[in-house]
Structures are given as structure tokens and as C-alpha cells.
Amino acid sequence: MLISKRSGNFTLYDDSKVINSILNANARVSIEHISRNLAAAIADEVFTELTENNDVLTTKDVREAVYRNLCDRGFYLTAKEYIEYKK
């Protein structure tokens, strides 16, 4: 799946970037814990969700899907940190 970056360039979806972003945001939240395995599961769900109807996505699409997925799982503080980190 191609991701359209803010710069106008395209890159392939890289779940390791999503996983690391989730873990970095979670590291700044002391009362929530997300394991690498859970972050990988979230990245997989985001990929599956976004590829159902799209061939090319924006970084905003990915960011919003990760945010929704974190909130759906009750990781509200991590979701907030994730959005702040990705601005």
C-alpha cells in the first residue's frame, strides 16, 4: 500500500514505523502499558482497515486510524500522546 506523505512523496506502508510510534507515545504515559506484540496487532488492524477500500492513503489516514484503534482499546492517554507526537 502506498502512503502519500505531507511532502508529496510516496512511500510504502511500514508497520515498524507505526509500531515504533505507538511505543514512543506509550513510553510517555506512565499508567498505560502497550507491549510490542500489542502495538504490532494494532498496526496489523490499521493496515487491514485501511487497505479494504484504498490503494493510496495519506499519513493523516494512518494517523487517524491508529488514534481510533488506541481509543477503541481504552488507551486514551497514549492516543493523545500519539497525536501530539505525530503533529
Domain segments of the chain as ranges: 2-86
Q: Could you give phi then psi for residue 3, rounded to 5 degrees?
A: -115, 125
How far, CA to CA in Å, does 1 sit from each of 15, 39, 56, 57? 11, 19, 6, 8
| 56-87 pLDDT per residue, tens | 788 889 999 999 999 999 999 999 999 987 66
Q: What is the helix (H) or strand (E) element at residue 9, kind and residue range?
A: none
- The reported pTM is 0.88
| 9-65 pLDDT per residue, tens | 888 888 999 999 999 999 999 899 999 999 999 999 999 988 887 777 888 899 999
The DSSP call for residue 8 is: S
Location of C-alpha cell 507526537: 85
Q: Which residues contact 54 (CB under 8 A, 6 or more apart)?
A: 1, 61
